[in-house]
């Protein structure tokens, strides 16, 4: 399938594996890229420029296809060495960067100068237009359904995607709630040029995370995610568990008085324990409503191949028979 996104990134299929903290390692990124999609290494999981350089080199050994690095800009008292991370990406010849979190304008000149394509992930039409105006090449439009940070507008993709299509000139992919061929065809019908998936890619054989994480997604329904940290204007969609219940009790009790320090035990530093040790109840971790559509753990290649084959039959049989 040729779309503006496959052309822009030089990939075969319009399917992107989005950056995911403690999930987006070289193994998963290379598997997604080798399968004809676009894999993404998560920059902040590596933390330092040296470690990121090492992870990029590992990925380059596993694939000769294009892959991306995700740079998530978070508010932090001790910010990561973003200029150093950007320099490593440039020096390693990474062709694509996925930015997220806040406006990446500060780093765009250096990235563009190096010929790097930038896709900015955001959750509203106004932020998408801002990304376009500062020179991003594409946008990943992340609807309210998404795992991770859906923003504060709560607009689901059935409204957000056609709104983005009405306003944007640069191409965009649909992100949040995407799982299969039906998602891809629907997203394209709504104006997207491809899809970005997070949760669905975790439940694959290639994702370098503990089996308990994959099983938790397979066993979850669409009713099992919760929104946390809304009163901190840092809303996150996570899979419900004991820690999330505890956290939500504190949110209920403290209301607007809640501070980050009150919930630090449930959210800070929990990813390595969950993703690598499989201690699932230790804290809150991002997961999309789309878990309700995930019932198997295929290889990334089988997942992407089946999406493309089934998309073809939806378009050429089901839809053309109406
Ligand atoms: C476990 C997990 C960790 C994530 N970490 C990040 C991250 O570090 N940076 C980022 O930009 N997005 C992150 N995301 C968001 C994904 O890249 C993607 O936008 C989102 O999962 C799409 O929604 P879906 O889960 O419904 O497919 C994360 C998502 C999950 C599920």
pLDDT above 80: residue 288: yes
As a whole number of angstroms, the distance between CA 267 and CA 253 comes to 18
Q: Who contacts 1 (Cβ-Cβ below 8 Å, separation ≥6)?
A: 13, 14, 308, 311
Confidence of residue 202 (pLDDT cuts 50, 70, 90): very high
Return phi, psi of residue 309, to 5°: -65, -45
d(CA 108, CA 117): 10
pLDDT in tens, 77-106: 788 999 999 999 999 999 999 999 999 999
Task: Kindly state if the Cβ of 175 falls inside 6 Å of ligand 1.
Answer: yes
pLDDT of residue 238: 98
Distance from the alpha carbon of residue 196 to the mean position of ligand 1, in angstroms: 9
- Segment 38-65 shows an average pLDDT of 98
Residue located nearest, by CA, to atom 15 of ligand 1: 148
- Rounded to whole angstroms, the Cα distance separating 275 from 251 reads 25
Give the tens place of pLDDT for each residue, 250-271. Answer: 999 999 999 999 999 999 999 9
321 Cα: distance to centroid of ligand 1 (angstroms): 36
Collapsing DSSP to helix, strand or coil, 15 comes out as: strand
Q: State if residue 197 touches ligand 1 by the CB under 6 angstroms criterion.
A: yes
User: Is the pTM of the predicted complex or chain greater than 0.95?
Assistant: yes
**Residue 47: per-residue pLDDT:** 92
The average pLDDT across 199-217 equals: 98
Rounded CA separation 100/192 (Å): 18
Q: Looking at ligand 1, which atom is closest to the CA of residue 42?
A: 8
Q: Is 288 in the pocket of ligand 1 (CB under 6 A)?
A: yes
Is the confidence at residue 74, as pLDDT, over 90?
no
pLDDT for 20 beyond 90: yes
Q: Give the helix/strand (H/E) hosting 306.
A: helix 300-313
Asked whether the predicted pLDDT for residue 151 surpasses 80, the reply is yes
For residue 43, the model assigns a pLDDT of 98
CA distance 2 to 320: 19
Residue 16 contacts residue 96 (beta carbons within 8 Å): no
Angle at 158 between CA 155 and CA 160, to 5 degrees: 45
180 within ligand 1 shell (Cβ under 6 A)? no
């Amino acid at each position: 399938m040729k779309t503006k996104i496959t052309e822009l990134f030089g990939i075969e299929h319009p399917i992107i594996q989005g950056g995911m903290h403690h999930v987006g390692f070289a193994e998963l990124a290379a598997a997604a890229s080798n399968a004809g999609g676009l894999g993404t290494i998560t920059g902040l999981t590596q933390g330092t420029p040296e470690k990121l350089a090492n992870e990029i080199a590992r990925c380059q050994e596993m694939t000769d296809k294009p892959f991306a690095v995700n740079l998530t800009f978070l508010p932090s008292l001790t910010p990561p060495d973003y200029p150093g991370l950007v320099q490593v990406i440039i020096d390693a010849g990474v062709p694509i960067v996925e930015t997220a979190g806040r406006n990446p304008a500060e780093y765009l000149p250096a990235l563009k100068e190096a010929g790097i394509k930038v896709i900015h992930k955001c959750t509203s039409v106004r932020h998408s237009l801002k990304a376009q105006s500062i020179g991003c090449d594409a946008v990943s439009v992340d609807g309210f359904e998404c795992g991770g940070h859906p923003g504060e507008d709560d607009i689901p993709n059935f409204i957000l995607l056609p709104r983005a299509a009405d306003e944007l000139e640069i191409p965009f992919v649909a992100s949040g709630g995407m799982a299969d061929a039906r998602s891809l065809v629907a997203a394209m019908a709504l104006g997207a040029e491809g899809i970005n998936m997070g949760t669905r890619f975790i439940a694959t054989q290639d994702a370098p995370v503990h089996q308990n994480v994959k099983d938790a997604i397979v066993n979850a329904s669409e009713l099992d995610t919760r929104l946390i940290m809304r009163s901190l204007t840092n809303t996150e969609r996570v899979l419900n568990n004991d820690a999330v219940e505890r956290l939500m009790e504190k949110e209920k009790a403290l209301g607007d008085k809640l501070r980050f320090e009150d919930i630090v035990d449930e959210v800070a530093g929990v990813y390595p324990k969950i993703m690598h040790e499989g201690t699932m109840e230790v804290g809150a971790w991002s997961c999309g409503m789309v878990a309700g559509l995930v019932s198997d753990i295929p290889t990334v290649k089988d997942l992407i191949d089946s999406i493309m084959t089934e998309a073809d039959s939806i378009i050429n049989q089901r839809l053309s028979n109406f």
